Amino acid sequence: MSRAPWVALAALTFALIALIAYLTPASSLITRALLASLALLAVGFVWRWSRLERHAPRAAAQPDAGGPRAADFALGFGANFFDTLGIGSFAPTTAVLKFTRRIPDEQIPGTLNVGHALPTLTEALIFIAAVVVDPRLLVTMIGASVLGAWLGAGVVSRLPRRGVQVGMGVALAAAAALFIASNLNWMPLGGTATALGGWRWVLAVGGNFLLGALMSLGIGLYAPCLILLSLLGLNPRAAFPIMMGSCAFLMPIGGMRFVRSRRYSSPVALGFALGGPPAVLIAAYLVKKLPLEWLRWLVAAVVLYAAALMLHAARRAVPTAQPAGPQPPP
């Protein structure tokens, strides 16, 4: 792959950080420290990713190494535009990649975590300063999700194709159920707290560790995390910095394990990384809100169908038992 896309990605990263820093209102010292950490992580992620790709052994080169296609940019733009408005990016992206057969199924989780990392960092840089939440809860839940993602990525990057297909099929079915529950107003309303203590804090941190690990398999964290914190009595608005901060920190760290193992598609992920951040800026600063109920129903139907395809493919991949030796004649 040529150097041009990597130079463009680096330039885009610095431009995003500068623009968001200019537009972000004054905030607390802790929030500024968190935003500075996110900015450094974004720069470090892009540098490390490009370096690993440049030094990848030739034997590990991917067949479609000529660079991203226009469809990859478009999918990254569309998925992250609607992710910023509350639809999510993992389930719709998985469905499109499955329908189009753009990449092998076993490369989808890594491609999602690597390709959507920079757009998610962009979302976090924009939104994380807007809501007040207990710093201890925020930091510990982010740390737990990062640890879960790092461990989970190591497991998923070694799973056989059938294991990935089963995991993603279940994840897509769960995502469709959440879309339906949201449209039917079955989601928990939450409480008024901005902090959690005692067993609630332990459960929240442990739950986010598990959700971070599941992110490595392509299961989005936003909706399950929001449900968990709402059930524990946290104000849903206070959950947003936790959700976004968790994903923003865990995806680059977990994604690097997929890059090192070559269990992802570099051109597709690069297309997502270049197409996604501009869509986040447009959705966050210009569009801000859209009536999305009809779109959730459509996404739920598409994602359910993709789940069925994924599980059917996994079922077909079950090896047929062979007789151990010569069989007696009938």
Question: Averaging pLDDT over each range in 121-130, 184-193, 258-267, 288-297, which range is the top one?
Answer: 258-267
* Whether the Cβ atoms of residue 248 and residue 124 lie closer than 8 Å to each other: yes
Q: What is the pTM of this model?
A: 0.81
Cβ-Cβ contacts under 8 Å for 110 (sequence gap 6 or more):
153, 156, 157, 255, 258, 259, 261, 263, 264, 265, 269
Q: What is the pLDDT of residue 245?
A: 87
User: For residue 185, what are its two tokens?
Assistant: 């107003």
The average pLDDT across 102-112 equals 90
Position 73 confidence tier, pLDDT thresholds 50, 70, 90: very high
Cβ-Cβ contacts under 8 Å for 212 (sequence gap 6 or more):
144, 145, 146, 147, 148, 149, 152, 221, 246, 250, 254
Does 168 have pLDDT greater than 80? no
Q: What is the mean pLDDT of the chain?
A: 82
Q: What is the pLDDT of residue 324?
A: 44
Query: Among 126-140, 199-213, 222-236, 315-329, whose mean pLDDT is lowest?
Result: 315-329
Q: What is the pLDDT of residue 62?
A: 58
The average pLDDT across 99-126 equals 91
Separation between Cα atoms, residue 92 and residue 77, nearest integer Å = 12
Q: What is the pLDDT of residue 270?
A: 95
Does 253 have pLDDT greater than 50? yes
More confident: 64 or 323: 64
User: For 133-142, what is each residue's pLDDT tens digit?
Assistant: 788 888 899 9
Residue 234 backbone phi and psi in degrees, to 5: -80, 145
The average pLDDT across 245-266 equals 89
Terminal CA-CA length for the chain = 59
324: which DSSP letter?
S
User: For residue 44, what are its two tokens?
Assistant: 């470090």
Q: What is the pLDDT of residue 275?
A: 95
The average pLDDT across 222-245 equals 83
Q: What is the pLDDT of residue 64?
A: 59
Cβ-Cβ contacts under 8 Å for 187 (sequence gap 6 or more):
181, 226, 227, 230
Distances (CA, A) of 206 to 47, 154, 248: 31, 19, 18
Does 110 have pLDDT greater than 80? yes
How far from the centroid of its chain's Cα atoms is residue 111's Cα?
Answer: 9
The average pLDDT across 227-255 equals 86
Query: Among 16-30, 58-72, 190-204, 209-223, whose mean pLDDT is lowest?
Result: 58-72
Residue carrying structure tokens 């440049």:
54
Domain boundaries in the chain? 4-314
More confident: 60 or 2: 2
The average pLDDT across 269-286 equals 93
* Residue 193 DSSP SS3: strand
Query: Among 65-69, 115-119, 214-218, 320-324, whose mean pLDDT is lowest?
Result: 320-324
